[in-house]
Amino acid sequence: MKNVVVVGSQWGDEGKGKIVDWLSSEADVVVRFQGGHNAGHTLVIEGTTYKLRLLPSGIVRKNKISIIGNGVVIDPWALLDEIHEIKGKGVNVDENNLIISEAANLILPFHKEMDEIREDSAGKAKIGTTRRGIGPAYEDKIGRRSIRVMDLISENNLDDRLETVLIHHNAIRKGLGKKIFEKDQLKKDLLKIAPKILKFSQPVWKKLDELKSKRKKILFEGAQGILLDVDHGTYPFVTSSNTVASSAATGTGCGVNTINYVLGITKAYTTRVGEGPFPTELKDTIGETLGSRGKEFGTVTSRKRRCGWFDGVLVRQTIKISGINGIALTKLDVLDELDEIKMCVGYELKGKKIDYLPAAVEDQLKVKPIYKNFKGWKTSTKGTKNFKDLPKNAQDYIRALEGFIETKVASISTSPERKDTILIENPFSV
């Protein structure tokens, strides 16, 4: 029995949805452990496209348990809308296949408003958030004033908790010249939807312990990517949670000894949404080609993604930080038409060569990539299912990538379809 954690090894948008769906066919349980509805996973199954934001990718499969852990921040209205939307596509969602941690923190309307207020007033210092209230909700969690799922049980308790959190937010809103947020209508709105949320609520740590004792296979699904980790990413241009694999333990209460294999989803080139450093970014026709062929637009926000060459230095760094055992290489087919392909194998900073991305943002913005060049393969790899059937130049690129990042390639994705995957190593059976 193996339990697997799936994380993005870059800035997110690496194609985790397809890989998680592929792995969930073997898993018994799929768990989200951090992030919010700013994370979008697109699944294409038998011609039907599912765009998930909060729901774990396993929800689209029968006889699987999907769990939202305590590390996730939940917009309750967005969650109910997503459940309604996916039910409309014939997917069953009930208390038997969806569990929400009673300790998960809620995203409320004033969080979204605060997110927008800050971004609009930040000017050049804006982070490029999705404006969905994720950051402010995590701030309230750390500040010990947040509303949690369990607080919806008692009207008196909910009233007290709202009073506490609004003292904080309204003080800030007054200082920014904004209208204070009234409590009463929000309390009514929350109490109205409370039964619809609470019916899914359980102590997730206890449920996972029960599932572990039954030797169920558990798949832990991360959101965003390691380079957006609040501690290890390109701070301050990061998300508000820990996106590394070890967060699967704290975000669910399962214990680090539950994790047996960490799979890093890795795009064959690099993309980034929002502001922040991007050493290999291409602001030319090649960058536009990668974006158009790769359909690089956000699942949640439809924002255009910035595109660049594969950054081996960054991926090797995130592999070491997150304890990645193998990578799932995605979107290889996007490179099919290029005459030449480049891979970043080092940086130059202030006239010196370095082999890692420094922590200071001013240095991150100044580093210049050092590239190794590869010949393109100029033929379609789309739908290829065996490594030996790939063009030789594609094989050479993958082997060089594998050698540089010092981690094996466990699988290769050659199209958005789940069946178009070259499986080299199955994380559940290693």
Hey, which residues are catalytic here? Answer: 13, 41
* Residue 352 CB partners (closer than 8 Å, separation 6+): none
For 361, 371, 372, 393, the CA distances from 350, given in Å and listed in that order, are 14, 17, 20, 34
| Residue among 36, 221, 7 at smallest CA distance from 146 | 36
Q: Which two tokens stand for residue 143?
A: 């500040």
Phi, psi of 35 (to 5 degrees): 85, -170
> Cis bond leading into 279, ω under 30°?
no
Distance, in Å, from the CA atom of 215 to the CA atom of 222, rounded to the nearest integer, reads 22
**Torsion angles phi and psi, residue 412, rounded to 5:** -135, 125
End-to-end CA distance of the chain: 10
| Separation between Cα atoms, residue 136 and residue 240, nearest integer Å | 9
126 Rama sector, left if φ>0, alpha if ψ -120 to 50, beta otherwise:
beta
Residue 361 backbone dihedrals phi, psi, to 5 degrees: -60, -35
Q: Tokens standing for 340?
A: 């030449």
**Chain Cα centroid distance, residue 174:** 34
State whether residue 180 is helix, strand or coil: coil
Q: Outline where 232-341 has alpha helix (H).
A: 247-250, 285-293, 312-322
Number of H helices, E strands in the chain: 12, 20
| SS3 state at 212 | helix
Residue from 49, 62, 59 nearest 79 by CA: 59
